[in-house]
Amino acid sequence: MKSPETVSHNNLLDLGGAAEAASIPADSIRHLVALRIIKPIEHDPVDGPLFSMEQTPLLEILNAMSVLNFRLEEMRDMVRVVETLGRFPASESAGRYRIRLGLFAEALQRRPVVTTEQQRSKNTLVHALVSRYTWLNA
């Protein structure tokens, strides 16, 4: 039997399951939801917010951005970029977002870090972006 923290509803994950799938703390997801940076797919009266597996890479990206002290506007912008590229990859706005994401990746390489945790988050963020958007590596 699954613990209450990893309940699955038709391929949806509760907070604990999403945290486990994204390899980030559940508190980080709670914080992102409270700030309205990311929205759960639905809210179950018993199990709380439910997330899709498709959201887990975005959760990982946003968590790394949080550790690197990105502004809330930058994090919300990243959500728009990722969602647009995922839903409408051939659209005109996706073309603009690809350019912006490329510029973001370049700036990220130059972003200074102070702590070991920030260095790990920077590496995680670069890896997450390059593995999801292979054209960033070109």
DSSP codes, 2-58: --GGG-EETTEE-HHHHHHHHTS-HHHHHHHHHTTSS--SEEETTTEEEEEGGGHHH
Instruction: Look at the chain and report how many structural domains it folds into.
Output: 1
Q: What is the pLDDT of residues 29-57, one digit of tens each?
A: 999 999 999 999 999 999 899 999 999 99
Question: CATH number, domain at 64?
Answer: 1.10.1660.10
69 pLDDT more than 60: yes
pLDDT band, residue 85 (cuts 50/70/90): very high
How much is the mean pLDDT over the chain?
90
Q: Rounded to whole angstroms, how far apart are CA atoms 46 and 74?
A: 32
Interval 99-127 mean pLDDT: 94
Predicted local confidence at residue 9, as pLDDT: 57
Predicted local confidence at residue 1, as pLDDT: 32
Q: Alpha carbon of 26 to those of 29, 31, 81, 91, 104: distances in Å?
A: 5, 9, 23, 34, 26
Q: Which residues pair with 13 in a beta bridge?
A: 8, 51
Asked if 63 contacts 24 with a C-beta cutoff of 8 angstroms, the reply is yes
pLDDT band, residue 138 (cuts 50/70/90): low
Whole-structure pTM value: 0.85
Q: What is the dihedral of CA 85, 90, 94, 98, to 10 degrees?
A: 80
Q: Which domain holds residue 40?
A: 4-137
